[in-house]
Amino acid sequence: CKMIWVLLLLLLLPLLLFIAAPQIRKMLSNGVCTSTAQLPGKVAVVTGANTGIGKETAKELAQRGARVYIACRDVQKGELVAKEIQTMTGNQQVFVRKLDLADTKSIRAFAEGFLADEKHLHILINNAGVMMCPYSKTADGFEMHMGINHLGHFLLTHLLLEKLKESAPSRVVNLSSLAHVLGRIHFHNLQGEKFYSAGLAYCHSKLANILFTKELARRLEGSGVSVYSVHPGTVHSELVRHSFFMRCMWRLFSFFIKTPQQGAQTSLHCALEGLEILSGNHFSDCRVTWVSAQARNMTIARRLWDVSCDLLGIPMD
Ligand SMILES: *[C@@H]1O[C@H](CO)[C@@H](O)[C@H](O)[C@H]1NC(C)=O
Ligand SMILES: *[C@@H]1O[C@H](CO)[C@@H](O)[C@H](O)[C@H]1NC(C)=O
């Protein structure tokens, strides 16, 4: 008789989980952007905004009246999303520009076009990213994760920095991840040539994002440009497209995984709330959060900054 109860419980448990899933998801995704800021006259660029968190972020910024640039590799896909956002928000000022972060030529072309078209830039969201792709290189010979997640956005931010300063108060939001905890900056193996793990390469690049946020914040002190890095949470997005294992895990635990809209909340919080005194910090669930010792090490941050400038042919100061 006891067995029957145990069996019944075992059968009921998944059912209960299924029914309670929305509540569980809500609980796990506490941290909602509560800003009521409106953005008429403000200009925002969101990289990788054709899907997932980036798309939700772009939509919300458009909803609040900003001129929004969707910067992505696949312009056709971007145009569809722009149309969708225009229809949903009634804001026609949503534009698509080609940006391939795996190619510094494309990054420079994007920046040139943008700087020619726009007088201001108030919000830059470095959102695009790749995760766990097999070993491959960008057009410039950088390892793909480092190249896109870190160096590509580094160059982009550098090229747009004067515009951000002129438009101050303005801000940069970098998407990083809790995965940075496993990351290390191996200066002798930055491009993964000596050893490579697809999973760890992602972590390294996400650590680089945080280090850069800290170093840039230091350099921009008093400029009116504030910078934040963000852990969006475990979010259902196309990031996992390169890994069959991760796709399966995502499916299995989909109850506990945030929707892209929930994942966009911390980016929006950092883009909209008055957090200037917290510039350089790392945020998760709309709160300042802990980062690993590596990510707090300003010696590594400075060295990585210099190495990155060197790799990208940016004059060092
Ligand atoms: C992140 O932010 C820093 C400062 O905001 C910037 O220099 C860097 O290029 C951005 N991107 C990455 C990927 O770190
Ligand atoms: C920072 O990293 C360097 C190089 O790995 C190390 O020698 C140094 O002790 C670290 N500093 C701190 C404060 O952890």
* pLDDT tens, residue by residue, 276-298: 778 887 888 888 888 888 889 99
pLDDT in tens, 6-56: 888 888 877 777 777 766 666 655 678 888 888 999 999 999 888 888 899
Q: Which atom of ligand 1 is nearest to the CA of 228?
A: 5
Atom 12 in ligand 2: which residue has the minimum CA distance? 297
Give 285 Cα–ligand 1 centroid separation in angstroms: 20
φ/ψ of 217, rounded to 5, equals -60, -40
> What does the pLDDT read at residue 118?
96
DSSP 193: S
Q: Report the catalytic residues.
A: 202
Strand order across the 67-72 sheet: 94-98, 67-72, 43-47, 123-126, 170-175, 225-231, 282-284, 287-288
Q: Which atom of ligand 1 is nearest to the CA of 155?
A: 9
Report the number of distinct structural domains present in the chain.
Answer: 1
Q: Is 299 in the pocket of ligand 2 (CB under 6 A)?
A: yes
* Residue 188 forms part of a structural domain: yes
* Residue 1 forms part of a structural domain: no
User: Which ligand has the shortest distance to the CA of 212?
Assistant: 1
Range list of H helices, 168-235: 198-219
* Residue 72 forms part of a structural domain: yes
* Residue 5 forms part of a structural domain: no
Q: Which CATH number is 94's domain given? A: 3.40.50.720
* Residue 151 forms part of a structural domain: yes
Is residue 168 packed enough to be buried (19+ CB in 10 Å), middle (13-18) or exposed (0-12)?
middle
Atom 13 in ligand 2: which residue has the minimum CA distance? 297
- Domain limits at 254? 37-312
Q: Which pLDDT band, with edges at 50, 70 and 90, does 182 fall under? A: confident
User: Which ligand has the shortest distance to the CA of 149?
Assistant: 1
* Residue 201 forms part of a structural domain: yes
Atom 6 in ligand 1: which residue has the minimum CA distance? 154
User: Which ligand has the shortest distance to the CA of 187?
Assistant: 2
**Helices (H) and strands (E) in the chain — how many of each?**
12, 8
DSSP 30: -
Q: Does residue 58 surpass a pLDDT of 80?
A: yes
